[in-house]
Amino acid sequence: MSPGEPHRGRAGPRRPTTVAALLAIVCLLLTGVATWAAARVDENTENRLLDVQTKQAATVLSTAIMLIQEPLSTALTVQKLSGPDGNATSFVNLMSAYVGKDKLFESASLWFRKDGELTRLAEVGGTSSAPPSDSTLTYLRQAFQSKSYTVRRVTAGSRSSIGYAMADPATGFVVYADRSIPADRRAPVDRDSAFAQLHYAIYLGPKASLPALSTTDVAPSTLPLRGTTSRMTVPFGDTVLTLVTSPRTHLGASLSRRLPVLLLLGGLLLTAIASSAGYQLTRRRQAVEAMYGQQRELSERLQRALLPRSNPAIPNMDIAAEYVAGAHGVDIGGDWYSIIGLEGDRFGFVVGDVSGRGIDAVATMARARFTIRAYLVDGHSPAEVLARCSRQFDIREDGHLTTAVVGVGNWRTGEVTISNAGHPAPLVLGSSGAHFVETHPGWPLGIGATTYESTSITMAPGATLFCFTDGLVERRGEDIDTGMRRLATTARGAAATSTEALVLGTVDGLRTEDASDDVAVLAMRWCGER
């Protein structure tokens, strides 16, 4: 039957209202996906920008911490030069510059340990006649056990302060200083421009709990911060400062924030237009078929938009790829290929196939593609890539099985390491003929966490590694081994041509007009070291 010949058993065209409703559903789905995707992109951008600004704020905190540590360390050094019998005049002169109203500390004192007993030698900004508490003496003794300086929070009535102690076990001197936590929970460092676009809460210690709160720009009763937050810890003596932030306003571009709404409004408008057009077009058979063709073309473009627009230039490698959509239906499939350059002399590649068709299959394909690509860029081996990726998928939730063959090659030596997750084995074409790589296939992605084996081969100069999806070899009612043998014969006949001609010739030679499955092919010819 020719493509234009009517099918005698086919039902008549759907009523215009039915077609208009179906079009509305499709457009609303696409609108929803596009709006969701734009919102996710904006959300991810906001998260990245928040992390960047939080790191900047953490840097400001680190600088402030250094300003606290420096006078304590300097005071110890000065007193060490004076010796155990020296007076504390140098200490007083030094710390006077740091103690007082609107200065770094509110009080500072110098202590000396001898025979296990602590004696206060000098104090700046405090009341020397006040006897030290047992907790203070215990805290000062603990300072001798710290490699840095120690930090503690002191609460006396409504006043809260932070105490710092730095000791030199060799000389027996220990310096103690404290500063009050402002009643409004604001500190000068917190007013730095790095905090301008952030709501923040800074906690003393690793736990973000209200008793550990140091400073914040919001009412403590409204903590913890809600919504999108970022968290970092900054080393602070023998403990840490925990910085939790949330954005005051939208951090990204205004267009990024408005884009989901614009897409939604545009999609609704498009839905109305498409539904009206569908209602009119279904009045005539030819118009319905024309619309069908347009939908199919749109689906293919969407699928191709998710595939690489061009292959990267990799030294010593001649690369060609092809994607062919199924002959029937407008639903898009999940076949894909990708090749990327990696660090050094290496490159990575993947050819994969997601079961089923439609937006969900493409969404699973896009997730698999970018996950595998990210793990390859991180430097993982093909077996590790598949093992890590397998844990990201679950057929019970996704409803799709994903097969893939992943490889990492060296364009200088021609060595290629391959791992297989339930996918057809690649074909090697060379002067000695054609043979399939023994890849020891593991479970497809989505079955559950598993391990995979690796196979390493060394390609001879001029040899081609031919990777493909099963749509190229499968035919209804035929054993797949027959299709694999047919592929080897067809590809071997075209192996002497260019890589691009090899791909196109093999696909054209094996593809039938009524083939329903998509096909993705990636061919890599190693030209030898130059």
pLDDT more than 70, % of the chain:
88
Residue 327 has pLDDT above 70, yes or no: no
Closest CA to 472 of 452, 487, 493, 489: 487
Radius of gyration of the chain (CA): 35
Residue 79 and residue 90 in contact, taking contact as beta carbons nearer than 8 Å: yes
- Cα(233)–Cα(206) distance, integer angstroms: 7
For residue 11, pLDDT over 50 is answered with: no
Cα–Cα distance measured from residue 79 to residue 83, given in angstroms and rounded to the nearest whole number? 7
Give the largest CA-CA distance in the chain: 113
Taking residue 402's Cβ as centre, other Cβ atoms within 10 Å add up to 30
Note whether 347 and 397 are within 8 A (CB).
Answer: no
Average pLDDT, the chain: 85
pLDDT in tens, 474-487: 888 889 999 999 99
- Cα–Cα distance, 274 to 312 (Å, whole number): 38
Average pLDDT over residues 88-109: 88
Q: Both ends of the chain: CA-CA distance in Å? A: 53
CA 468 to chain centre: 28
Instruction: Please tell me the predicted confidence (pLDDT) of residue 4.
Output: 35
Residue 343 and residue 318 in contact, taking contact as beta carbons nearer than 8 Å? no
What integer pLDDT is reported at residue 2 of this predicted model? 32
Which residues have CB under 8 Å from 228's CB, separation 6+?
A: 43, 46, 47, 50, 246, 247
Residue 160: pLDDT band (50, 70, 90) is confident
Q: What is the average per-residue pLDDT within 105-112? A: 90
* Average pLDDT score over residue span 131-149: 86
Alpha-carbon distance 474 to 197, whole Å? 58
CATH superfamily entry for domain 295-526: PPM-type phosphatase domain (3.60.40.10)
Q: Is the pLDDT of residue 289 over 80?
A: no
27-31, 230-234, 463-467: segment of lowest average pLDDT:
27-31
Tell which residue, 429, 432, 437, 430, has the closest CA to residue 488. Answer: 429
For 91: left if phi > 0, alpha if psi spans -120 to 50, otherwise beta; the answer is alpha
Residue 264 amino acid letter: L
How does residue 184 score in pLDDT terms, banded at 50, 70 and 90? low
Read off the pLDDT band of 9 (50, 70, 90).
very low
Nearest to 174 by CA among 132, 143, 139, 136: 143
Report the amino acid identity of residue 511.
R
Residue from 54, 38, 34 nearest 251 by CA: 54
Tokens of 486: 């047919």
Instruction: Give the DSSP letter string of 411-467.
Output: TTT-EEEEEEES-PPPEEEETTEEEE-----BPPBTS-S-----EEEEPPTT-EEEE
Note the residue count of the chain.
530
Instruction: Average the pLDDT over 111-138 and give the result.
Output: 82
Q: Are 218 and 264 in contact (CB under 8 A)?
A: no
Q: Find where tokens 């966490």 sit.
A: 449
Q: Which residue has the higher pLDDT, 220 or 485?
A: 485
> Tens digit of pLDDT for each residue in 337-367?
999 999 999 999 999 999 888 788 888 898 9
Contact in structure between 368 and 406 (CB atoms under 8 Å): no
User: Is 111 strand, coil or helix?
Assistant: strand
Which whole-number Å values give the CA distances from 247 to 163, 228, 520, in the listed order? Answer: 31, 7, 44
Confidence of residue 506 (pLDDT cuts 50, 70, 90): very high
The answer to whether residue 524 scores a pLDDT higher than 80 is yes
pLDDT number for residue 39: 86
